[in-house]
Amino acid sequence: MIPTICLRRVLHEAVITPYRNLVTRATGAAVRGRIEAALERLGCEVAVLDFSGVEILDFSCADEIVAKLVLPAARPSRPVVLLGVRDEQREALDHVLAHHGVAVTARLHESGEPVLLGAATPDLHEAFAALRARGAALDDFARLPIS
């Protein structure tokens, strides 16, 4: 079982505000720092991030958190799975991941449906569709080659 990291909780720990918005690069960097520390502590290779309860996600913060978790500066790419992603957040995530030429699996807040976000090759799309068709678990999606 892969532990899920609640972004709203991490946001509240990282910045002392009552807001539910993931905005600005500085906030993104602070949140990512805490996520990386948690992954290290838990010994997790896969990052499962839950966006439930997060309202606004801007492009800078999406880049700083998700794109940089997928593509850490000094390591090979890390599998990331997103949960509770709302339609309005999907656009920012899709854009920043495509910009870096990587993809992640996300489960949408509204429908619960798994989708691929970012730049996915035809092979990745095919593998994703096959997993989805057999109702695969998150762990399986996390094993997809993302970049």
Q: What track of x and - describes contact with another protein for positions 5 through 44 (by CB under 8 A)?
A: ----------x-xxx-x-xxxxx-----------------
Closest distance between another protein and the C-beta of residue 75, in Å? 16
Q: Give the DSSP letter string of the chain.
A: -PPEEEHHHHHHHHS--S---B-SHHHHHHHHHHHHHHHHHHT-SSEEEE-TT---B-HHHHIIIIIHHHS-TTS----EEEEEE-HHHHHHHHHHHHHHT-EEEEEETTT--EEEEE---HHHHHHHHHHHHTT--HHHHHTS---
Q: Does 64 bind another protein (CB under 8 A)?
A: yes
Please pick, from the candidates 35, 67, 117, 127, the single residue that binds another protein as defined by CB under 8 A.
67
Q: Site residues (CB under 8 A) for another protein? A: 15, 17-19, 21, 23-27, 55-60, 63-64, 67-68, 86-89, 91-92, 95-96, 99-100
